[in-house]
Amino acid sequence: MRIDVEQRDGVCAVRFSGRFATGEDPHFLSAKAEEIKKANRGKLLVDFSEVPYVGSTGLGYLVSIYTSVTTISGGRFMLVGVTPRVRELLDMTRLSTIIPMAADFTAGRAALCGEGAAAQSDAP
């Protein structure tokens, strides 16, 4: 699992790559969560386009960073690039009805920055 955090134009972009399954190093995940919280200024864009699988650890982590952003006044969160297998899991857990999603990075960024109605709650 790789997690890259980048701050650009008021949006904190977090790119995940690899399988996000049980057994991930908890110290690494905790450190990355703190980095995300420190870099976040209320708009968080999470890119899962390179995540083929998410287990319970990954779901918990996703919910944790979603909550940390959305509890901030005006905080906005967008999940982008969800693969069909991950989308199926989000649908089964009903997280897809809670977490806003967009088809890709560009659409997600536009939705976060208020540039039209680019968000798609039913993005594949």
Tokens 């199926």 locate to 88
Q: Which residue has the higher pLDDT, 37 or 6?
A: 6
Q: What is the mean pLDDT of residues 34-51?
A: 88
Q: Per-residue pLDDT for 52 more than 80?
A: yes
- Confidence class for position 36, pLDDT limits 50, 70, 90: confident
* Confidence at residue 119, expressed as pLDDT on a 0 to 100 scale: 44
Question: How far is 1 from 25, CA to CA, in rounded Å?
Answer: 9
Q: What is the mean pLDDT of residues 21-36?
A: 82
- φ, ψ (nearest 5 deg) of residue 72: -80, 140
- H or E segment and range at residue 67: helix 56-70
- Mean model confidence pLDDT for the chain: 87
Tokens 């319970």 locate to 56
Q: Per-residue pLDDT for 121 more than 60?
A: no
Q: Per-residue pLDDT for 112 more than 50?
A: yes
* Confidence at residue 35, expressed as pLDDT on a 0 to 100 scale: 87
Question: How far is 5 from 1, CA to CA, in rounded Å?
Answer: 13
Catalogue all structural domains in the chain, each as residue range(s) with its CATH number: 2-112 (3.30.750.24)
Question: How far is 46 from 88, CA to CA, in rounded Å?
Answer: 18
Q: Which phi-psi region, left, alpha or beta, contains residue 46 (left: φ > 0; alpha: ψ -120 to 50)? A: beta
**pLDDT tens digits for 69-98?**
999 888 999 999 999 999 999 999 999 999
CB-based contacts of 114, cutoff 8 Å, min separation 6: none
* Confidence at residue 115, expressed as pLDDT on a 0 to 100 scale: 67
* Confidence at residue 21, expressed as pLDDT on a 0 to 100 scale: 78
Cα 12 to Cα 25, 56, 94: the distances in Å are 23, 24, 25
